[in-house]
Structure formats: structure tokens, C-alpha cells
């Protein structure tokens, strides 16, 4: 039996396979402050880096207050700072 469309796309984007784990090339990677820290922490724990940082775009759009004059504080401020660092 031939490959499925999923298999063809998957195979065309595999950068690294290691013990059942696969790292795939994605042409556009969007991140935000709410999940940035755990995702980048996982990369660090596994000794991996971002393969194409020029294809990664980040935006703080989940915990930033929208009221005039309001600013993120506490946990929210930490999330935005971690996003900037990552």
C-alpha cells in the first residue's frame, strides 16, 4: 500500500528522529506568552534548540491587559518577560 498524504507530509518535514521521537521542520512557528515558557523549557531539558529561529514569531496576547494605563503584573508579567527572553 502507498503512503498516505499524512505520511508524505510528515516524511518531507522530518529533521531528526531519535528513539521514536521526531523533530519536524515547520515553516512558521507562532508562540505566545501562556505556553512559551513550558515549550522552551522542554527544548532546554532535551538539549534541543530552535532549528529556524527566523521562522518563529511571538506575541503577548493572552494575559496583557487591554484597559488604558493597565500593565501586566505578578504571574502575567513573568509570562511576558519569559516570552521576551525565549
Mean per-residue pLDDT of the chain: 88
Residue 71 lies in a domain: yes
> Model pTM greater than 0.85?
no
Residue 15 lies in a domain: no
For residue 79, the enclosing domain spans 27-85
Q: Report whether 86 contacts 44 (CB < 8 A).
A: no
The pairing of strands 56-59 and 29-32 is parallel
Residue 1 lies in a domain: no
> In angstroms, rounded to a whole number, what is the distance separating the alpha carbons of residues 83 and 68?
22
One-character DSSP codes across 45-86: HTT---S-GGGEEEE--SSS--STT----HHHHHHHHHHHH-
Residue 41 lies in a domain: yes
Residue 7 lies in a domain: no
pLDDT tens track for 49-75: 987 889 889 998 888 888 888 877 888
Number of domains in the chain: 1
Amino acid at each position: 500500500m502507498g503512503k498516505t498524504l499524512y505520511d508524505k507530509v510528515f516524511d518531507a518535514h522530518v529533521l531528526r528522529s531519535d528513539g521514536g521521537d521526531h523533530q519536524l521542520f515547520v515553516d512558521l512557528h507562532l508562540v505566545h506568552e501562556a505556553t512559551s515558557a513550558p515549550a522552551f523549557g522542554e527544548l532546554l531539558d532535551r538539549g534541543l534548540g530552535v532549528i529556524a529561529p527566523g521562522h518563529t514569531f511571538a506575541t503577548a496576547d493572552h494575559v496583557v491587559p487591554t484597559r488604558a494605563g493597565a500593565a501586566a503584573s505578578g504571574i502575567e508579567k513573568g509570562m511576558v518577560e519569559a516570552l521576551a527572553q525565549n
